[in-house]
């Protein structure tokens, strides 16, 4: 009997096999079954576990590499990477930039006051 992994469900059965394998490994990483630095199963082990061809397993591993979840060392294996920092949303970046501009404007006003010079005229545009 084939072990389809702990997260295999009928909802993913319509996905290509490589996507099912990648989704299972991704879920295991996210749940902490595989932690940073842990080695994931070898391609040969995944082939046996999933009853899949080498190319299928290799594509699943490539998907995880491209997502930044694992790193593969030739002849050694594939290992879970340190999770990447979440990328801020555009709204978060705009808010951070607005906050930074407001802080810089306050610092510049305080500097002008300290030096006793009038701030330059601002462009209303």
Under a CB-based contact definition with an 8 Å cutoff, are residues 29 and 75 in contact? no
Give the residue from 28, 19, 89, 108 showing the smallest Cα distance to 60. Answer: 19
Q: Report d(CA 43, CA 60) in Å as an integer.
A: 10
Q: Report d(CA 81, CA 40) in Å as an integer.
A: 11
User: Can you give the pLDDT at residue 6?
Assistant: 45
Across residues 38-61, what is the average pLDDT? 97
Q: Report d(CA 7, CA 76) in Å as an integer.
A: 26
User: Can you give the pLDDT at residue 87?
Assistant: 83
pLDDT digits (tens, 9 = 90+) for 87-102: 889 999 999 999 999 9
pTM for the full predicted model: 0.60
């Amino acid at each position: 009997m084939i072990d389809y992994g702990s997260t295999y469900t009928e909802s993913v059965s319509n996905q290509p096999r490589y996507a099912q394998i990648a989704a299972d490994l991704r879920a295991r990483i996210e749940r902490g079954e595989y932690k940073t630095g842990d080695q994931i199963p070898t391609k040969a082990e995944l082939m046996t576990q999933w009853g899949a061809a080498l190319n299928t397993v290799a594509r699943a591993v490539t998907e995880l590499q491209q997502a930044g979840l694992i790193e593969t060392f030739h002849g050694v294996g594939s290992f879970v990477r340190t999770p990447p920092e979440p990328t801020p949303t555009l709204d978060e970046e705009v808010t951070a930039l607005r906050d930074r501009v407001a802080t810089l404007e306050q610092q510049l006003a305080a500097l002008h006051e300290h030096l006793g010079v009038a701030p330059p005229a601002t462009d209303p545009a």
